[in-house]
């Protein structure tokens, strides 16, 4: 009965053409979560993973059109890193897809060349820039929530968590958190699962929704808020003697929910908190409370000296975050750590600089830990 219904819906000739094309080209497609995916990246990909603004959203696709026509068409503009066609259970497509390229320039080229393209009579493709949302807003968190503790919880419960900032105020019930993820897919998966995970683990009813952000005009996009730290202002640097290079000790990853967060939300507690320190001298609770303190303790324990920070304001992003660049130098290490961190605006210039410093230290710790695991 099911086969009979599907045969009435599917175009058997088009399905056969797809199967023939897959066999001839050895193209691999993966069915996952209501979509059929090519690449991410494909085996033939040569180059780094795409950044922001590299994906286009394609709509007005005929329901019996498949990858055998769509992938060659969108590959004609430039190499595809990924192509995702949204699918129904019946085997028809849902009329829209996503194509991701290696650079924003190639994505722009695809929009210019293929928007309005006539795939078959009466069907003109709509191709525009994809809005790759990567930020979620979590609401109704308890007043005792701490940023680092919540960050550790989220990294246990969800994939791709990069950073977060807490916010509270007269119009906000409890505490809210803006959480940044490594990709739109990771944020989507977290959005689906975090409400149930918090209810099951902590008996909490939190809210999780996409973080809305008003898009600024081009003139406003790089205009810093008045309260920001001038780029020439930074805390004093402490001159330290260089020490012989020693490999950083292995950091222990948290394997379960941090004890402090459990206590804050009234959830289950363990007999002893999971280790969040390096293997070496025992760390006091203060060491685990701040990435800055933990990084300094780690560097002192390995004899490479205290880290020196240079942090500068860059610009305000359309997602509401402030972008800061950092350059962290450890005297006993040959290479400096450089990168970009995002924070939410704070009440004072000093508090924002300190928040950027904590985010930078967290990234440096992660990179040191990753390098050690790769040995």
Mean pLDDT of 18-47: 91
Average pLDDT of the residues of the chain: 76
Answer whether residue 169 shows pLDDT above 70.
no
Task: Convert the pLDDT of each residue in 328-353 to its tens digit.
Answer: 988 888 778 888 888 877 777 777 88
Q: What pLDDT is recorded for position 339?
A: 87
CATH dotted code for 2-129: 3.30.70.330
Q: How far apart are CA 250 and CA 303, in angstroms?
A: 15
Residue 171 pLDDT class (50, 70, 90 cuts): low
Task: Convert the pLDDT of each residue in 345-375 to its tens digit.
Answer: 777 777 788 888 888 888 888 887 766 655 5
Residues of the chain with CATH 3.30.70.330: 2-129, 135-210
Sheet of strand 135-141, all strands in order from the earlier edge strand to the far edge: 161-167, 175-181, 135-141, 207-210
Residue 93 pLDDT class (50, 70, 90 cuts): very high
Comparing 41-55, 172-186, 216-230, the range with the smallest average pLDDT is: 216-230
Comparing 212-226, 227-241, 250-264, 341-355, the range with the smallest average pLDDT is: 227-241
CATH level 2 (architecture), domain 259-373: 2-Layer Sandwich (3.30)
Q: How far apart are CA 175 and CA 139, in angstroms?
A: 6
Answer whether residue 247 shows pLDDT above 50.
no
Q: How far apart are CA 206 and CA 199, in angstroms?
A: 8
Q: What pLDDT is recorded for position 232?
A: 35
Percent of the chain whose pLDDT exceeds 90: 28
Cα–Cα distances in Å, from 367 out to 47, 182, 251, 370?
21, 15, 11, 5
Comparing 85-89, 96-100, 210-214, 335-339, the range with the smallest average pLDDT is: 210-214
Residues of the chain with CATH 3.30.160.20: 259-373
**Three-state secondary-structure class, residue 210:** strand
Q: What pLDDT is recorded for position 74?
A: 97
- For residue 237, the Cα-to-chain-centroid distance in whole angstroms is 32
Q: Does domain 135-210 have CATH number 3.90.25.10?
A: no
Residue 286 pLDDT class (50, 70, 90 cuts): very low
Comparing 171-180, 205-214, 241-250, the range with the smallest average pLDDT is: 241-250
Burial 234-263 (b: 16+ CB within 10 A, else e): eeeeeebeebeeeebbebeeeeebbbbbbe
Q: Which residues contact 190 (CB under 8 A, 6 or more apart)?
A: 136, 154, 157, 158, 159, 160, 161, 179, 181, 208
Q: What pLDDT is recorded for position 274?
A: 34
Percent of the chain whose pLDDT exceeds 70: 72
Q: What pLDDT is recorded for position 172?
A: 55
Residue 126 pLDDT class (50, 70, 90 cuts): very high
Residue 51 pLDDT class (50, 70, 90 cuts): confident
Answer whether residue 220 shows pLDDT above 60.
no
Answer whether residue 65 shows pLDDT above 90.
yes
Mean pLDDT of 109-127: 93
pTM above 0.75, yes or no: no
Q: What pLDDT is recorded for position 15?
A: 94
- Evaluated on CA atoms 283, 288, 289, 294, the torsion sign reads positive
Mean pLDDT of 304-316: 85
Q: How far apart are CA 375 and CA 268, in angstroms?
A: 36
Mean pLDDT of 94-103: 94
Instruction: Tell me the H-state helices in the chain.
Output: 2-9, 12-25, 67-75, 104-114, 147-157, 184-202, 259-265, 285-289, 291-301, 349-373
Q: For 163, phi and psi rounded to 5 degrees?
A: -165, 170
Answer whether residue 22 shows pLDDT above 60.
yes
Comparing 1-10, 80-89, 190-199, 297-306, the range with the smallest average pLDDT is: 1-10
Q: What pLDDT is recorded for position 233?
A: 35
Answer whether residue 20 shows pLDDT above 80.
yes
Q: What pLDDT is recorded for position 173?
A: 60
Q: If we measure between CA atoms, which residue out of 111, 109, 102, 98 comes closest to residue 52?
A: 102
pLDDT greater at residue 150 or residue 271 = 150
| HSE toward the beta carbon, residue 276, CA cutoff 13 A | 27
Q: What pLDDT is recorded for position 359?
A: 86
């Amino acid at each position: 009965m099911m086969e009979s219904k599907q045969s009435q819906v599917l175009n058997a000739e088009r399905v056969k053409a797809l199967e023939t094309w897959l066999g001839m080209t050895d193209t691999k497609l993966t069915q996952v979560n209501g979509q059929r995916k090519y690449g991410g990246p494909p085996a033939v990909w040569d180059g780094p993973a795409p950044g922001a603004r590299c994906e286009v959203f394609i709509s007005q696709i005929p329901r019996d059109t498949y990858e055998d026509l769509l992938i060659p068409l969108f590959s004609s503009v430039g190499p595809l890193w990924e192509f995702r066609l949204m699918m129904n259970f019946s085997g028809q497509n849902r009329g829209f897809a996503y194509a991701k390229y290696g650079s924003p320039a190639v994505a722009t080229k695809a929009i210019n060349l293929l928007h309005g393209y006539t795939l078959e009579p009466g069907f003109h493709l709509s191709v525009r820039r994809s809005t790759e949302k990567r930020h979620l807003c979590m609401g109704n968190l308890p007043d005792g929530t701490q940023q680092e503790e919540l960050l550790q919880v989220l990294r246990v419960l969800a994939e791709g968590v990069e950073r977060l900032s807490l916010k509270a105020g007269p119009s906000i019930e409890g505490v809210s958190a803006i959480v940044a993820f490594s990709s739109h897919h990771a944020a989507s998966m977290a959005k689906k699962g975090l409400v149930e995970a918090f209810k099951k683990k902590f008996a909490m009813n939190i809210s999780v929704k996409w973080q809305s952000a008003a898009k600024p005009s081009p003139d406003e996009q790089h205009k810093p808020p008045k309260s920001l730290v001038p780029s020439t202002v930074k805390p004093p640097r402490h001159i330290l003697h260089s020490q012989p290079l020693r490999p950083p000790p292995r950091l222990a990853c948290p394997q379960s929910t941090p004890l402090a967060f459990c206590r804050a939300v009234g959830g289950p507690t363990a007999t002893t908190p999971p280790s969040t320190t390096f293997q070496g001298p025992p760390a006091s609770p203060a060491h685990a409370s701040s990435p800055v303190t933990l990084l300094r303790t780690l560097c002192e324990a390995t004899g490479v000296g205290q880290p020196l920070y240079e942090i500068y304001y860059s610009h305000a992003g359309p997602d509401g975050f402030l972008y800061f660049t950092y350059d962290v130098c450890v005297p006993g290490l040959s290479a400096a750590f450089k990168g970009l961190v995002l924070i939410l605006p704070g009440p004072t210039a000093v508090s924002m600089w300190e928040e950027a410093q904590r985010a930078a230290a967290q990234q440096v710790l992660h990179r040191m830990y990753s390098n050690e695991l790769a040995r």
